[in-house]
Structure 1
Protein backbone atom coordinates (compact mmCIF):
# COMPACT_ATOMS: atom_id res chain seq x y z
CA UNK A 1 0.00 0.00 0.00
CA UNK A 2 1.21 3.50 -0.80
CA UNK A 3 2.46 5.56 2.11
CA UNK A 4 -0.80 7.35 2.80
CA UNK A 5 0.52 9.23 5.83
CA UNK A 6 3.24 10.75 3.68
CA UNK A 7 0.75 11.58 0.92
CA UNK A 8 -1.57 13.32 3.37
CA UNK A 9 1.32 15.39 4.67
CA UNK A 10 2.68 16.59 1.34
CA UNK A 11 -0.48 17.00 -0.76
CA UNK A 12 -1.38 20.37 0.74
CA UNK A 13 -1.46 23.95 -0.44
CA UNK A 14 -1.92 25.28 -3.95
CA UNK A 15 -2.13 22.38 -6.40
CA UNK A 16 -1.98 24.21 -9.72
CA UNK A 17 -4.21 22.65 -12.43
CA UNK A 18 -2.12 23.38 -15.51
CA UNK A 19 -3.60 23.96 -18.96
CA UNK A 20 -2.57 21.78 -21.91
CA UNK A 21 -0.82 24.09 -24.40
CA UNK A 22 -1.29 23.49 -28.12
CA UNK A 23 0.61 24.58 -31.20
CA UNK A 24 -1.28 26.54 -33.85
CA UNK A 25 -1.99 23.26 -35.67
CA UNK A 26 -3.62 21.80 -32.56
CA UNK A 27 -0.85 19.40 -31.54
CA UNK A 28 0.40 19.41 -27.95
CA UNK A 29 3.19 21.92 -27.34
CA UNK A 30 5.41 19.74 -25.17
CA UNK A 31 8.17 22.30 -24.61
CA UNK A 32 5.72 24.97 -23.48
CA UNK A 33 4.13 22.48 -21.08
CA UNK A 34 7.57 21.86 -19.56
CA UNK A 35 8.15 25.61 -19.34
CA UNK A 36 4.84 26.12 -17.56
CA UNK A 37 5.59 23.38 -15.04
CA UNK A 38 8.99 24.88 -14.25
CA UNK A 39 7.42 28.34 -13.91
CA UNK A 40 4.85 27.00 -11.45
CA UNK A 41 7.51 25.34 -9.33
CA UNK A 42 9.65 28.49 -9.35
CA UNK A 43 6.57 30.56 -8.42
CA UNK A 44 5.86 28.51 -5.31
CA UNK A 45 3.02 26.22 -6.34
CA UNK A 46 3.00 23.39 -3.82
CA UNK A 47 2.00 20.71 -6.35
CA UNK A 48 0.76 20.47 -9.92
CA UNK A 49 -2.08 18.71 -11.65
CA UNK A 50 -2.50 18.02 -15.36
CA UNK A 51 -5.34 16.59 -17.45
CA UNK A 52 -8.00 17.82 -15.07
CA UNK A 53 -10.85 20.07 -16.26
CA UNK A 54 -8.44 22.94 -16.96
CA UNK A 55 -6.27 20.62 -19.06
CA UNK A 56 -9.09 19.88 -21.56
CA UNK A 57 -8.96 16.10 -21.04
CA UNK A 58 -12.09 15.42 -23.06
CA UNK A 59 -10.34 16.97 -26.07
CA UNK A 60 -7.30 14.68 -25.70
CA UNK A 61 -6.88 11.11 -26.87
CA UNK A 62 -6.01 8.44 -24.32
CA UNK A 63 -2.44 8.40 -25.66
CA UNK A 64 -2.18 12.19 -25.37
CA UNK A 65 -3.39 12.15 -21.79
CA UNK A 66 -0.72 9.59 -20.92
CA UNK A 67 1.91 11.68 -22.72
CA UNK A 68 0.95 14.82 -20.76
CA UNK A 69 1.08 12.88 -17.48
CA UNK A 70 4.50 11.52 -18.37
CA UNK A 71 5.85 14.97 -19.27
CA UNK A 72 4.55 16.45 -16.02
CA UNK A 73 6.00 13.74 -13.80
CA UNK A 74 9.34 13.74 -15.61
CA UNK A 75 9.63 17.54 -15.63
CA UNK A 76 8.66 17.95 -11.98
CA UNK A 77 11.30 15.33 -11.15
CA UNK A 78 10.23 15.06 -7.52
CA UNK A 79 10.46 18.80 -6.83
CA UNK A 80 6.72 18.98 -6.15
CA UNK A 81 4.00 16.32 -6.10
CA UNK A 82 2.16 15.60 -9.36
CA UNK A 83 -1.55 14.74 -9.27
CA UNK A 84 -2.85 13.97 -12.77
CA UNK A 85 -6.53 13.81 -13.57
CA UNK A 86 -7.32 10.25 -14.62
CA UNK A 87 -11.10 10.24 -14.66
CA UNK A 88 -13.35 9.86 -17.66
CA UNK A 89 -16.98 9.28 -18.50
CA UNK A 90 -15.75 5.82 -19.56
CA UNK A 91 -15.07 3.43 -16.67
CA UNK A 92 -12.46 1.36 -18.52
CA UNK A 93 -10.55 4.47 -19.61
CA UNK A 94 -10.50 5.65 -16.00
CA UNK A 95 -9.03 2.30 -14.97
CA UNK A 96 -6.36 2.47 -17.67
CA UNK A 97 -5.36 6.06 -16.94
CA UNK A 98 -5.26 5.59 -13.16
CA UNK A 99 -3.08 2.49 -13.47
CA UNK A 100 -0.83 4.37 -15.89
CA UNK A 101 -0.51 7.28 -13.46
CA UNK A 102 0.74 4.85 -10.83
CA UNK A 103 3.14 3.24 -13.29
CA UNK A 104 4.57 6.64 -14.28
CA UNK A 105 5.18 7.62 -10.66
CA UNK A 106 2.36 10.05 -9.89
CA UNK A 107 1.92 11.04 -6.24
CA UNK A 108 -1.85 10.66 -6.41
CA UNK A 109 -4.63 10.57 -8.99
CA UNK A 110 -7.53 13.01 -9.27
CA UNK A 111 -10.58 11.01 -10.39
CA UNK A 112 -13.62 12.98 -11.50
CA UNK A 113 -17.22 11.97 -10.93
CA UNK A 114 -18.16 10.66 -14.41
CA UNK A 115 -19.78 13.36 -16.52
CA UNK A 116 -22.72 13.12 -18.94
CA UNK A 117 -23.78 9.64 -17.72
CA UNK A 118 -25.51 10.96 -14.56
CA UNK A 119 -24.92 7.76 -12.56
CA UNK A 120 -26.83 6.96 -9.38
CA UNK A 121 -25.07 7.18 -6.02
CA UNK A 122 -24.86 3.38 -5.93
CA UNK A 123 -23.23 3.34 -9.38
CA UNK A 124 -20.83 6.10 -8.33
CA UNK A 125 -19.79 4.02 -5.35
CA UNK A 126 -19.15 0.95 -7.52
CA UNK A 127 -17.19 3.00 -10.07
CA UNK A 128 -14.85 4.55 -7.50
CA UNK A 129 -14.52 1.37 -5.45
CA UNK A 130 -13.49 -0.62 -8.52
CA UNK A 131 -10.98 1.99 -9.72
CA UNK A 132 -9.51 2.48 -6.26
CA UNK A 133 -9.16 -1.25 -5.62
CA UNK A 134 -7.22 -1.64 -8.88
CA UNK A 135 -4.28 0.55 -7.83
CA UNK A 136 -1.86 1.15 -4.98
CA UNK A 137 -2.05 4.91 -5.33
CA UNK A 138 -3.65 7.70 -3.27
CA UNK A 139 -6.92 8.81 -4.85
CA UNK A 140 -8.57 12.23 -4.66
CA UNK A 141 -12.21 12.26 -5.71
CA UNK A 142 -13.18 15.20 -7.92
CA UNK A 143 -16.74 16.39 -7.37
CA UNK A 144 -17.83 19.11 -9.82
CA UNK A 145 -21.62 18.92 -10.18
CA UNK A 146 -21.79 21.99 -12.41
CA UNK A 147 -20.01 20.07 -15.18
CA UNK A 148 -20.94 16.46 -14.42
CA UNK A 149 -24.67 16.99 -13.76
CA UNK A 150 -24.47 14.75 -10.69
CA UNK A 151 -23.36 15.54 -7.16
CA UNK A 152 -21.54 12.95 -5.07
CA UNK A 153 -23.50 12.99 -1.85
CA UNK A 154 -21.65 13.21 1.45
CA UNK A 155 -22.92 9.80 2.56
CA UNK A 156 -21.53 8.21 -0.64
CA UNK A 157 -18.16 9.85 -0.15
CA UNK A 158 -18.11 8.86 3.53
CA UNK A 159 -18.81 5.23 2.62
CA UNK A 160 -16.02 5.26 0.05
CA UNK A 161 -13.69 6.81 2.61
CA UNK A 162 -14.57 4.01 5.02
CA UNK A 163 -14.21 1.20 2.48
CA UNK A 164 -11.26 2.45 0.39
CA UNK A 165 -8.16 3.31 2.46
CA UNK A 166 -6.37 4.97 -0.45
CA UNK A 167 -9.13 7.54 -1.03
CA UNK A 168 -7.48 10.34 0.91
CA UNK A 169 -9.46 13.40 -0.10
CA UNK A 170 -11.83 15.25 -2.38
CA UNK A 171 -11.66 18.28 -4.63
CA UNK A 172 -15.01 19.98 -4.12
CA UNK A 173 -15.97 22.26 -6.99
CA UNK A 174 -19.20 22.66 -5.13
CA UNK A 175 -20.65 26.05 -4.27
CA UNK A 176 -22.73 24.53 -1.46
CA UNK A 177 -20.61 25.45 1.56
CA UNK A 178 -22.87 23.45 3.87
CA UNK A 179 -22.04 20.38 1.78
CA UNK A 180 -18.28 20.85 2.11
CA UNK A 181 -18.59 21.37 5.87
CA UNK A 182 -20.39 18.06 6.15
CA UNK A 183 -17.64 16.33 4.15
CA UNK A 184 -15.18 16.91 7.00
CA UNK A 185 -17.79 16.11 9.62
CA UNK A 186 -18.58 12.71 8.13
CA UNK A 187 -15.24 11.79 6.51
CA UNK A 188 -13.07 12.97 9.39
CA UNK A 189 -10.94 16.02 9.98
CA UNK A 190 -7.85 14.31 8.51
CA UNK A 191 -9.64 13.83 5.16
CA UNK A 192 -8.03 16.14 2.59
CA UNK A 193 -10.57 18.71 1.44
CA UNK A 194 -9.58 20.94 -1.50
CA UNK A 195 -11.55 23.81 -2.92
CA UNK A 196 -12.15 23.86 -6.65
CA UNK A 197 -14.19 27.07 -6.35
CA UNK A 198 -11.94 30.13 -6.41
CA UNK A 199 -13.97 32.25 -3.99
CA UNK A 200 -14.02 29.38 -1.48
CA UNK A 201 -10.26 28.75 -1.42
CA UNK A 202 -9.72 30.91 1.64
CA UNK A 203 -12.98 30.05 3.46
CA UNK A 204 -12.30 26.34 3.04
CA UNK A 205 -8.95 26.68 4.79
CA UNK A 206 -10.82 28.13 7.77
CA UNK A 207 -12.84 24.93 8.28
CA UNK A 208 -9.79 22.68 7.98
CA UNK A 209 -9.28 22.33 4.24
CA UNK A 210 -5.95 21.01 2.96
CA UNK A 211 -5.67 23.57 0.16
CA UNK A 212 -7.16 24.18 -3.23
CA UNK A 213 -6.90 23.36 -6.91
CA UNK A 214 -7.54 26.78 -8.41
CA UNK A 215 -7.49 27.48 -12.14
CA UNK A 216 -6.44 31.07 -11.39
CA UNK A 217 -3.02 29.70 -10.42
CA UNK A 218 -2.36 29.37 -14.15
CA UNK A 219 -1.90 33.14 -14.47
CA UNK A 220 -1.02 34.15 -10.90
CA UNK A 221 0.73 31.14 -9.35
CA UNK A 222 2.76 33.14 -6.85
CA UNK A 223 -0.21 35.00 -5.35
CA UNK A 224 -2.37 31.89 -5.22
CA UNK A 225 0.37 29.95 -3.43
CA UNK A 226 1.11 32.84 -1.08
CA UNK A 227 -2.47 32.83 0.17
CA UNK A 228 -1.97 29.31 1.53
CA UNK A 229 1.48 30.14 2.87
CA UNK A 230 0.10 33.16 4.74
CA UNK A 231 -2.65 31.03 6.27
CA UNK A 232 -0.18 28.38 7.44
CA UNK A 233 2.13 31.05 8.86
CA UNK A 234 -0.77 32.53 10.81
CA UNK A 235 -0.78 35.81 8.90
CA UNK A 236 -4.55 35.96 8.55
CA UNK A 237 -4.60 39.58 7.45
CA UNK A 238 -2.30 38.82 4.53
CA UNK A 239 -4.37 35.76 3.60
CA UNK A 240 -7.57 37.80 3.67
CA UNK A 241 -5.97 40.57 1.63
CA UNK A 242 -4.84 38.09 -1.02
CA UNK A 243 -8.30 36.51 -1.08
CA UNK A 244 -9.92 39.85 -1.92
CA UNK A 245 -7.06 40.97 -4.16
CA UNK A 246 -7.55 37.89 -6.35
CA UNK A 247 -11.33 38.22 -6.53
CA UNK A 248 -11.56 40.44 -9.66
CA UNK A 249 -9.18 38.08 -11.49
CA UNK A 250 -11.14 35.04 -10.34
CA UNK A 251 -14.36 36.65 -11.55
CA UNK A 252 -13.19 37.56 -15.05
CA UNK A 253 -11.52 34.20 -15.66
CA UNK A 254 -14.86 32.45 -15.25
CA UNK A 255 -17.02 34.66 -17.47
CA UNK A 256 -16.64 31.99 -20.15
CA UNK A 257 -16.09 28.26 -19.83
CA UNK A 258 -12.76 27.28 -18.30
CA UNK A 259 -10.06 27.15 -19.71
CA UNK A 260 -10.93 29.52 -22.58
CA UNK A 261 -10.34 32.74 -20.58
CA UNK A 262 -7.18 31.27 -19.06
CA UNK A 263 -5.70 30.51 -22.45
CA UNK A 264 -6.53 33.98 -23.69
CA UNK A 265 -4.85 35.46 -20.60
CA UNK A 266 -1.77 33.26 -20.93
CA UNK A 267 -1.55 34.24 -24.60
CA UNK A 268 -1.58 37.91 -23.57
CA UNK A 269 1.20 37.16 -21.09
CA UNK A 270 3.28 35.51 -23.82
CA UNK A 271 3.29 32.16 -22.02
CA UNK A 272 1.48 30.08 -24.67
CA UNK A 273 0.00 30.13 -28.13
CA UNK A 274 -3.67 30.60 -27.13
CA UNK A 275 -5.28 27.67 -28.88
CA UNK A 276 -8.09 25.36 -27.79
CA UNK A 277 -9.53 22.36 -29.55
CA UNK A 278 -13.08 22.50 -30.81
CA UNK A 279 -15.75 22.41 -29.51
CA UNK A 280 -13.96 24.83 -27.16
CA UNK A 281 -12.83 28.21 -28.47
CA UNK A 282 -11.39 31.51 -27.26
CA UNK A 283 -13.68 34.07 -25.59
CA UNK A 284 -15.34 36.86 -27.52
CA UNK A 285 -13.35 39.96 -28.45
CA UNK A 286 -15.27 41.95 -25.83
CA UNK A 287 -14.47 39.49 -23.05
CA UNK A 288 -10.83 39.37 -24.12
CA UNK A 289 -10.69 43.16 -23.73
CA UNK A 290 -12.15 42.80 -20.24
CA UNK A 291 -9.67 40.05 -19.36
CA UNK A 292 -6.81 42.21 -20.58
CA UNK A 293 -8.00 45.18 -18.49
CA UNK A 294 -8.27 43.13 -15.28
CA UNK A 295 -5.11 41.13 -15.94
CA UNK A 296 -3.05 44.30 -16.33
CA UNK A 297 -3.52 44.92 -12.60
CA UNK A 298 -1.65 41.70 -11.80
CA UNK A 299 0.96 40.97 -14.46
CA UNK A 300 2.73 42.42 -17.48
CA UNK A 301 0.80 41.72 -20.68
CA UNK A 302 3.07 42.37 -23.66
CA UNK A 303 0.91 40.73 -26.31
CA UNK A 304 -2.05 42.23 -28.12
CA UNK A 305 -5.56 40.93 -27.57
CA UNK A 306 -6.05 37.82 -29.66
CA UNK A 307 -8.36 38.18 -32.63
Structure 2
Protein backbone atom coordinates (compact mmCIF):
# COMPACT_ATOMS: atom_id res chain seq x y z
CA UNK A 1 0.00 0.00 0.00
CA UNK A 2 1.37 3.41 -0.94
CA UNK A 3 1.86 6.18 1.62
CA UNK A 4 -0.94 8.14 -0.04
CA UNK A 5 -3.36 5.22 0.18
CA UNK A 6 -2.45 4.67 3.82
CA UNK A 7 -3.19 8.25 4.84
CA UNK A 8 -6.41 8.17 2.81
CA UNK A 9 -7.56 5.23 4.92
CA UNK A 10 -6.61 7.04 8.15
CA UNK A 11 -8.53 10.14 7.10
CA UNK A 12 -11.84 8.49 6.23
CA UNK A 13 -14.75 8.87 8.61
CA UNK A 14 -13.01 11.50 10.71
CA UNK A 15 -13.54 14.79 12.48
CA UNK A 16 -10.53 16.98 11.70
CA UNK A 17 -10.49 20.00 14.00
CA UNK A 18 -9.24 23.32 12.56
CA UNK A 19 -7.83 24.56 15.86
CA UNK A 20 -7.93 28.29 16.55
CA UNK A 21 -4.74 30.24 17.23
CA UNK A 22 -4.94 31.49 20.83
CA UNK A 23 -3.46 34.88 21.58
CA UNK A 24 -2.43 36.52 24.82
CA UNK A 25 -4.16 39.78 25.63
CA UNK A 26 -1.19 41.66 24.14
CA UNK A 27 -1.71 39.87 20.81
CA UNK A 28 1.24 37.47 21.03
CA UNK A 29 0.66 33.77 20.36
CA UNK A 30 -0.19 31.81 23.49
CA UNK A 31 1.68 28.59 22.77
CA UNK A 32 0.91 27.03 26.16
CA UNK A 33 -2.82 27.38 25.54
CA UNK A 34 -2.39 26.04 22.00
CA UNK A 35 -0.78 22.90 23.40
CA UNK A 36 -3.55 22.56 26.00
CA UNK A 37 -6.26 22.95 23.37
CA UNK A 38 -4.71 20.26 21.19
CA UNK A 39 -4.38 17.88 24.13
CA UNK A 40 -8.04 18.52 25.07
CA UNK A 41 -9.12 17.94 21.48
CA UNK A 42 -7.39 14.59 21.24
CA UNK A 43 -8.62 13.44 24.66
CA UNK A 44 -12.14 14.50 23.63
CA UNK A 45 -12.04 12.13 20.67
CA UNK A 46 -11.09 14.34 17.72
CA UNK A 47 -9.58 12.17 15.01
CA UNK A 48 -7.08 14.62 13.48
CA UNK A 49 -5.77 18.16 13.97
CA UNK A 50 -5.22 21.09 11.64
CA UNK A 51 -3.83 24.55 12.39
CA UNK A 52 -3.52 27.74 10.35
CA UNK A 53 -6.79 27.17 8.52
CA UNK A 54 -9.46 29.85 8.45
CA UNK A 55 -10.23 29.33 12.14
CA UNK A 56 -6.54 29.86 12.90
CA UNK A 57 -6.41 33.42 11.47
CA UNK A 58 -3.46 32.65 9.17
CA UNK A 59 -3.66 35.95 7.29
CA UNK A 60 -3.07 37.72 10.62
CA UNK A 61 0.11 35.71 11.27
CA UNK A 62 3.56 36.30 9.86
CA UNK A 63 5.12 33.45 7.90
CA UNK A 64 7.50 32.86 10.79
CA UNK A 65 4.58 32.67 13.21
CA UNK A 66 2.77 30.19 11.01
CA UNK A 67 5.84 27.94 11.04
CA UNK A 68 6.07 28.30 14.83
CA UNK A 69 2.40 27.34 15.24
CA UNK A 70 2.88 24.32 12.98
CA UNK A 71 5.93 23.20 14.96
CA UNK A 72 4.20 23.69 18.32
CA UNK A 73 1.16 21.74 17.13
CA UNK A 74 3.30 18.90 15.80
CA UNK A 75 5.03 18.65 19.18
CA UNK A 76 1.74 18.73 21.11
CA UNK A 77 0.14 16.05 18.92
CA UNK A 78 3.16 13.80 19.40
CA UNK A 79 1.99 11.28 16.80
CA UNK A 80 -1.33 10.56 18.52
CA UNK A 81 -3.49 11.60 15.54
CA UNK A 82 -2.81 12.78 11.98
CA UNK A 83 -1.69 16.38 11.53
CA UNK A 84 -2.73 18.50 8.53
CA UNK A 85 -1.52 22.10 8.81
CA UNK A 86 -2.86 24.79 6.52
CA UNK A 87 -0.03 25.91 4.27
CA UNK A 88 -1.84 27.96 1.64
CA UNK A 89 -1.55 31.68 1.03
CA UNK A 90 -2.53 34.26 -1.55
CA UNK A 91 1.19 34.32 -2.35
CA UNK A 92 2.42 31.36 -4.42
CA UNK A 93 5.99 31.43 -3.07
CA UNK A 94 4.72 31.53 0.52
CA UNK A 95 2.53 28.52 -0.20
CA UNK A 96 5.51 26.65 -1.60
CA UNK A 97 7.63 27.57 1.42
CA UNK A 98 5.03 26.61 4.02
CA UNK A 99 4.15 23.35 2.30
CA UNK A 100 7.81 22.36 2.23
CA UNK A 101 8.03 23.26 5.91
CA UNK A 102 5.14 20.88 6.57
CA UNK A 103 7.24 18.14 5.01
CA UNK A 104 10.26 19.09 7.14
CA UNK A 105 8.37 18.91 10.43
CA UNK A 106 6.77 15.57 9.55
CA UNK A 107 3.14 16.54 8.93
CA UNK A 108 0.88 13.80 7.57
CA UNK A 109 -0.63 16.05 4.90
CA UNK A 110 -1.08 19.73 4.07
CA UNK A 111 -4.28 21.67 3.56
CA UNK A 112 -3.80 24.26 0.80
CA UNK A 113 -6.42 26.97 0.40
CA UNK A 114 -7.43 28.43 -2.95
CA UNK A 115 -5.50 31.72 -3.20
CA UNK A 116 -7.66 34.54 -1.92
CA UNK A 117 -8.11 38.13 -3.20
CA UNK A 118 -6.22 37.49 -6.47
CA UNK A 119 -9.18 35.71 -8.13
CA UNK A 120 -7.07 33.53 -10.47
CA UNK A 121 -8.81 31.83 -13.37
CA UNK A 122 -9.15 28.04 -13.53
CA UNK A 123 -6.03 27.58 -15.63
CA UNK A 124 -4.01 29.60 -13.14
CA UNK A 125 -5.43 27.60 -10.24
CA UNK A 126 -4.46 24.36 -11.94
CA UNK A 127 -0.91 25.63 -12.48
CA UNK A 128 -0.64 26.86 -8.89
CA UNK A 129 -1.74 23.57 -7.35
CA UNK A 130 0.22 21.36 -9.72
CA UNK A 131 3.40 23.31 -9.04
CA UNK A 132 2.90 22.97 -5.28
CA UNK A 133 1.99 19.27 -5.51
CA UNK A 134 4.96 18.48 -7.74
CA UNK A 135 7.34 20.19 -5.31
CA UNK A 136 6.65 17.89 -2.34
CA UNK A 137 6.20 14.22 -1.54
CA UNK A 138 3.29 14.96 0.77
CA UNK A 139 -0.46 14.32 0.57
CA UNK A 140 -2.39 17.51 -0.16
CA UNK A 141 -5.96 18.43 0.72
CA UNK A 142 -7.23 21.28 -1.44
CA UNK A 143 -9.27 23.85 0.49
CA UNK A 144 -12.09 25.41 -1.55
CA UNK A 145 -13.90 28.24 0.25
CA UNK A 146 -15.34 30.59 -2.36
CA UNK A 147 -17.03 32.80 0.23
CA UNK A 148 -13.58 33.83 1.48
CA UNK A 149 -11.47 33.58 -1.67
CA UNK A 150 -13.90 35.15 -4.19
CA UNK A 151 -13.20 32.33 -6.65
CA UNK A 152 -14.56 28.77 -6.85
CA UNK A 153 -12.30 25.87 -7.76
CA UNK A 154 -14.48 24.23 -10.40
CA UNK A 155 -15.09 20.49 -10.42
CA UNK A 156 -13.39 19.99 -13.80
CA UNK A 157 -10.24 21.72 -12.52
CA UNK A 158 -10.17 19.66 -9.35
CA UNK A 159 -10.78 16.45 -11.30
CA UNK A 160 -7.85 17.20 -13.60
CA UNK A 161 -5.62 17.91 -10.58
CA UNK A 162 -6.69 14.67 -8.89
CA UNK A 163 -5.73 12.72 -12.01
CA UNK A 164 -2.47 14.55 -12.75
CA UNK A 165 -1.19 14.81 -9.16
CA UNK A 166 -1.28 11.53 -7.20
CA UNK A 167 -0.59 13.37 -3.93
CA UNK A 168 -3.70 15.56 -4.23
CA UNK A 169 -5.88 13.13 -2.31
CA UNK A 170 -8.87 15.19 -1.27
CA UNK A 171 -10.65 18.50 -0.81
CA UNK A 172 -12.23 20.48 1.98
CA UNK A 173 -15.36 21.99 0.44
CA UNK A 174 -16.63 25.03 2.29
CA UNK A 175 -19.17 25.28 -0.48
CA UNK A 176 -22.91 25.55 0.12
CA UNK A 177 -23.62 24.27 -3.39
CA UNK A 178 -24.50 20.65 -2.62
CA UNK A 179 -24.76 19.83 -6.32
CA UNK A 180 -21.11 20.93 -6.68
CA UNK A 181 -19.92 18.61 -3.90
CA UNK A 182 -21.84 15.67 -5.35
CA UNK A 183 -20.09 16.23 -8.66
CA UNK A 184 -16.70 16.28 -6.93
CA UNK A 185 -17.03 12.58 -6.10
CA UNK A 186 -18.61 11.78 -9.45
CA UNK A 187 -15.69 13.32 -11.34
CA UNK A 188 -12.77 12.77 -8.96
CA UNK A 189 -13.72 9.22 -7.99
CA UNK A 190 -15.48 7.82 -4.96
CA UNK A 191 -12.17 7.17 -3.18
CA UNK A 192 -11.26 10.89 -3.33
CA UNK A 193 -11.47 12.38 0.17
CA UNK A 194 -14.31 14.89 0.40
CA UNK A 195 -14.49 16.86 3.66
CA UNK A 196 -17.26 19.25 4.62
CA UNK A 197 -16.28 22.73 5.75
CA UNK A 198 -19.93 23.77 6.01
CA UNK A 199 -21.29 22.77 9.40
CA UNK A 200 -24.84 22.15 8.21
CA UNK A 201 -23.52 19.76 5.54
CA UNK A 202 -21.21 17.66 7.72
CA UNK A 203 -23.74 14.85 8.12
CA UNK A 204 -25.30 15.07 4.62
CA UNK A 205 -21.84 14.87 3.06
CA UNK A 206 -21.17 11.58 4.83
CA UNK A 207 -24.33 10.22 3.21
CA UNK A 208 -23.01 10.82 -0.32
CA UNK A 209 -19.64 9.22 0.43
CA UNK A 210 -17.76 12.07 2.07
CA UNK A 211 -14.74 11.31 4.23
CA UNK A 212 -15.65 13.54 7.18
CA UNK A 213 -15.58 17.14 8.25
CA UNK A 214 -13.22 19.97 9.09
CA UNK A 215 -15.63 21.91 11.27
CA UNK A 216 -15.00 25.06 13.30
CA UNK A 217 -17.71 23.92 15.73
CA UNK A 218 -15.46 21.06 16.78
CA UNK A 219 -13.29 23.66 18.52
CA UNK A 220 -16.11 24.07 21.05
CA UNK A 221 -17.72 20.61 21.31
CA UNK A 222 -15.10 18.20 19.96
CA UNK A 223 -16.69 15.19 21.62
CA UNK A 224 -20.07 15.65 19.95
CA UNK A 225 -18.67 16.28 16.47
CA UNK A 226 -16.39 13.25 16.80
CA UNK A 227 -19.27 11.14 18.13
CA UNK A 228 -21.40 11.98 15.09
CA UNK A 229 -18.67 10.53 12.87
CA UNK A 230 -18.19 7.54 15.16
CA UNK A 231 -21.91 6.79 15.05
CA UNK A 232 -21.90 7.01 11.25
CA UNK A 233 -18.90 4.68 11.05
CA UNK A 234 -20.70 2.14 13.26
CA UNK A 235 -23.85 2.32 11.15
CA UNK A 236 -25.85 3.98 13.93
CA UNK A 237 -27.60 6.41 11.61
CA UNK A 238 -30.22 7.42 14.16
CA UNK A 239 -27.55 8.60 16.61
CA UNK A 240 -25.62 10.40 13.85
CA UNK A 241 -28.81 12.17 12.73
CA UNK A 242 -29.68 13.10 16.31
CA UNK A 243 -26.27 14.69 16.78
CA UNK A 244 -26.56 16.51 13.46
CA UNK A 245 -29.75 18.21 14.67
CA UNK A 246 -28.45 18.67 18.21
CA UNK A 247 -25.47 20.61 16.85
CA UNK A 248 -27.51 22.88 14.56
CA UNK A 249 -28.29 25.65 17.11
CA UNK A 250 -24.61 25.88 18.03
CA UNK A 251 -23.56 25.80 14.37
CA UNK A 252 -25.97 28.65 13.67
CA UNK A 253 -24.84 30.94 16.47
CA UNK A 254 -21.13 30.35 15.82
CA UNK A 255 -21.53 31.80 12.33
CA UNK A 256 -23.57 34.91 13.15
CA UNK A 257 -20.29 36.82 12.93
CA UNK A 258 -17.14 36.09 10.95
CA UNK A 259 -15.29 32.93 12.00
CA UNK A 260 -13.41 32.58 14.31
CA UNK A 261 -14.73 35.49 16.42
CA UNK A 262 -17.79 33.59 17.78
CA UNK A 263 -15.76 30.41 18.27
CA UNK A 264 -13.18 32.31 20.30
CA UNK A 265 -15.98 33.95 22.30
CA UNK A 266 -17.41 30.50 23.08
CA UNK A 267 -14.03 29.14 24.13
CA UNK A 268 -13.56 32.24 26.29
CA UNK A 269 -16.91 31.58 27.99
CA UNK A 270 -15.74 28.02 28.65
CA UNK A 271 -12.52 29.32 30.19
CA UNK A 272 -10.35 27.65 27.55
CA UNK A 273 -8.73 30.78 26.10
CA UNK A 274 -8.49 34.53 26.26
CA UNK A 275 -10.88 35.37 23.36
CA UNK A 276 -8.43 37.75 21.71
CA UNK A 277 -8.30 38.31 17.94
CA UNK A 278 -5.83 40.33 15.95
CA UNK A 279 -7.04 43.38 14.10
CA UNK A 280 -8.76 43.83 11.72
CA UNK A 281 -10.83 41.07 13.39
CA UNK A 282 -12.54 41.83 16.69
CA UNK A 283 -14.65 40.15 19.34
CA UNK A 284 -18.41 39.75 18.80
CA UNK A 285 -20.92 42.23 20.17
CA UNK A 286 -22.16 41.90 23.75
CA UNK A 287 -25.53 40.82 22.36
CA UNK A 288 -24.05 38.01 20.30
CA UNK A 289 -21.79 36.91 23.13
CA UNK A 290 -24.89 36.64 25.38
CA UNK A 291 -26.62 34.60 22.68
CA UNK A 292 -23.62 32.29 22.37
CA UNK A 293 -23.60 31.78 26.13
CA UNK A 294 -27.31 31.03 26.14
CA UNK A 295 -26.94 28.41 23.38
CA UNK A 296 -24.01 26.78 25.16
CA UNK A 297 -26.25 26.23 28.18
CA UNK A 298 -28.26 23.74 26.11
CA UNK A 299 -25.31 21.32 26.07
CA UNK A 300 -25.46 19.37 29.31
CA UNK A 301 -21.81 18.36 29.31
CA UNK A 302 -20.69 22.00 29.33
CA UNK A 303 -23.64 23.52 31.16
CA UNK A 304 -21.92 23.74 34.56
CA UNK A 305 -18.82 25.52 33.26
CA UNK A 306 -20.97 28.00 31.38
CA UNK A 307 -23.30 28.86 34.25
CA UNK A 308 -20.37 29.33 36.60
CA UNK A 309 -18.78 31.97 34.36
TM-score bracket for the superposition, by shorter chain length: over 0.9
Hey, what's the Cα distance between the residues in 1 that align with 2:103 and 2:146?
A: 26
Whether the aligned pair in 1 keeps the contact of 2:269 and 2:293 (CA below 8 Å) is yes
Would you say how many aligned residue pairs link Structure 1 and Structure 2? Answer: 304
Query: What residue is the counterpart of 1:8 in the other structure?
Result: 8
Whether the aligned pair in 2 keeps the contact of 1:50 and 1:68 (CA below 8 Å) is yes
Matched, 1:155 2:160: no
Cα gap change, 1:182 to 1:209, in 2 (>3 Å): same
Residue 302 of structure 1 deviates from its aligned partner by 5.4
Matched, 1:44 2:45: yes
Q: Secondary structure at the match of 1:301?
A: helix
Structure 2, unaligned runs of 5 or more: none
Whether the aligned pair in 2 keeps the contact of 1:82 and 1:107 (CA below 8 Å) is yes
Scaled by the length of structure 2, the TM-score of the pair is: 0.97
Residue 2 of structure 1 deviates from its aligned partner by 6.9
Hey, what's the Cα distance between the residues in 2 that align with 1:113 and 1:185?
A: 21
Residue 42 of structure 1 deviates from its aligned partner by 0.1
Residue 219 of structure 1 deviates from its aligned partner by 0.4
Query: What residue is the counterpart of 1:17 in the other structure?
Result: 18
Query: What residue is the counterpart of 1:172 in the other structure?
Result: 173
Query: What residue is the counterpart of 1:231 in the other structure?
Result: 232
Q: Secondary structure at the match of 1:283?
A: coil
Whether the aligned pair in 2 keeps the contact of 1:50 and 1:85 (CA below 8 Å) is yes
Hey, what's the Cα distance between the residues in 2 that align with 1:296 and 1:91?
A: 44
Query: What residue is the counterpart of 2:306 in the other structure?
Result: 301
Hey, what's the Cα distance between the residues in 1 that align with 2:178 and 2:204?
A: 9
Query: What residue is the counterpart of 1:118 in the other structure?
Result: 119
Residue 190 of structure 1 deviates from its aligned partner by 0.3
Hey, what's the Cα distance between the residues in 2 that align with 1:24 and 1:302?
A: 24
Q: CA RMSD in A?
A: 1.0
Q: How does 1:277-296 map to 2 (within 5 A)?
A: 277-296=278-297
Scaled by the length of structure 1, the TM-score of the pair is: 0.98
Hey, what's the Cα distance between the residues in 1 that align with 2:94 and 2:308?
A: 39
Post-superposition CA distance 1:96-145 (Å, at most 9, x none): 00000010000000000000000000000000000110000000000000
Q: Secondary structure at the match of 2:306?
A: coil
Whether the aligned pair in 2 keeps the contact of 1:269 and 1:302 (CA below 8 Å) is no
Whether the aligned pair in 2 keeps the contact of 1:267 and 1:303 (CA below 8 Å) is no
Whether the aligned pair in 2 keeps the contact of 1:2 and 1:138 (CA below 8 Å) is no
